[in-house]
Amino acid sequence: MMALTRRQFVKASASGLAALGLARAGFWFAPSLPYASVKVANLANLEVGKPVYFSYPDARSQAVLVKLGTRAIGGVGPDRDVVAFSASCTHMGCPLQFKNGRFVCPCHYSMFDPAKNGEVYQGLATEFLPQIPLEVVPQSGDVFAKGVEGLIWGRVSNLLG
């Protein structure tokens, strides 16, 4: 599991805000916040169907990356099948399980399809799972998390503070 140190995180946020030039005054569609770019995996180490858990955008938010083996919306890598999401159920925040190619919530059985933008296709959740856009460095195969598209459950802003 990888975690952002607090120092890295503060630095990332600060530079993001600086890039914006001023304090944010309104709301826009996600990703709208100065997210840090964080290395979360390397393509060479990924196995189909084996989830990699990491913290993003901060230490208190569990996220999950998985190589699906089939093309997915927002997928990266040669097969466009590597995707990442917040791992907190959008219903009431329980940690999700990746089982048989999709996410299942052990609390009230919401199910999310990782190939379809984290779509809720069963259960109590209303919102799709927030997807984490990824970027791959071609030379190294390093995979970076670049933001969060959708609100992480239990927050009024994806970036705490």
Residues near another protein (CB under 8 A): 27, 29-33, 60-61, 73-74, 88-95, 99-102, 104, 107-111, 113, 115-117, 119-128, 130-131, 133, 147-158, 160-161
Whether 91 sits among the annotated catalytic residues: the reply is: yes
Give the residue with the Cβ less far from ligand FES, 32 or 97.
Answer: 97
Give the residue with the Cβ less far from another protein, 45 or 48.
Answer: 48
Report the distance separating Cα 82 and Cα 91, nearest Å. 24
Of 59, 108, 135, 137, which residue is the catalytic one? 108
Of 54, 91, 148, 159, which residue is the catalytic one? 91
Binding residue (CB under 6 A) for ligand FES from 36, 72, 86, 91: 91
Whether 108 sits among the annotated catalytic residues: the reply is: yes
Ramachandran bin of 28, using left for φ above 0, alpha for ψ from -120 to 50, beta for the remaining angles: beta
125 DSSP assignment: -
- Exposure class string for 126-141: b at 16+ Cβ within 10 A, else e: ebbbbbbbbebeeeee
Residue 22: Cβ within 10 Å count: 7
127 in contact with ligand FES (CB under 6 A): no
155 in contact with ligand FES (CB under 6 A): no
* Number of residues engaging ligand FES in binding (CB under 6 A): 12
Beta bridge partners of residue 122, listed in sequence order: 111
Binding residue (CB under 6 A) for ligand FES from 69, 77, 101, 123: 123
Report the distance separating Cα 131 and Cα 117, nearest Å. 7
Report the distance separating Cα 3 and Cα 141, nearest Å. 19
Is residue 157 within 8 Å of 13, Cβ to Cβ? no
Give the residue with the Cβ less far from ligand FES, 11 or 108.
Answer: 108
- Shortest approach of another protein to residue 96 CB, angstroms? 11
Catalytic residues, which ones? 91, 108
